[in-house]
Amino acid sequence: MNKKDFRVKQINALKEFSTDNRKMESKQILDSLFQSESWKSAQTVATTLSDDLEFDTKPVIQQAQLENKIIVVPRTTIAGRKMFFNALTANTQLERTKFGILEPVGEDTVEPEQINLIVVPGLGFETKTGFRVGFGAGYYDRYLADYNGKTVGLAFTPQLLEKPEWPVDEFDIDLEQIISKDGVVYEK
């Protein structure tokens, strides 16, 4: 199956995933994340401002703030398809992009070497080698190619696969850890 068809399949599976299952699994996944050494040792955590289809990152942001961690969120450029991370504070101004994603406004970029942990979004996560398939723009793969910190994917049951059902390209970057309702299901 090509990546485009796989993404459609996964989006449909996530739309059909019940609210009750989503809540139950979210709690279990978050408990495992917050107990992980990657989380405990991180001073700066990067995550998305999730939409309704994705894993809800509001609890990740709230927990980071409770623990006095710096939270950073992505800002993208259309030209060159580059991604940067900006600190998320009470004063951060957000705007919705043409893709409907909330992003910080401004050039106040946090350098990659300052980020200890990135919670990487995805539609599918392969549990044998840590590969993922995202939403198709390649922003995370480009960013992760030069990133040396920790990476983790948070995956609902419909997102977990024992082997890729999509072609893994040479530029695809594998994650260091994948967490599901069962705890860590992949670790490099």
Handedness of CA 57, 84, 71, 31 (dihedral sign): positive
Residue where the block lists tokens 């991604």: 83
55 contacts 81 by C-beta, under 8 angstroms: no
Q: What does the mean pLDDT of the chain come to?
A: 93
For residue range 150-184, what is the model confidence (pLDDT) as tens digits?
Answer: 999 999 999 999 887 777 878 888 999 999 999 99
- The Cα–Cα gap between 11 and 5 comes to 10
- The Cα–Cα gap between 181 and 166 comes to 23
> What torsion do the CA atoms of 30, 31, 35, 36 make, to the nearest 10 degrees?
-40
For residue 86, the model assigns a pLDDT of 97
Identify the band that residue 65 occupies on the pLDDT scale cut at 50, 70 and 90: very high
DSSP label of 111:
P
Of 30-39, 54-63, 122-131, 164-173, least confident by mean pLDDT is: 164-173
Identify the residue with better confidence: 108 or 119: 119
Q: What does DSSP say about strands 44-46 and 117-119: parallel, antiparallel, or unpaired?
A: parallel
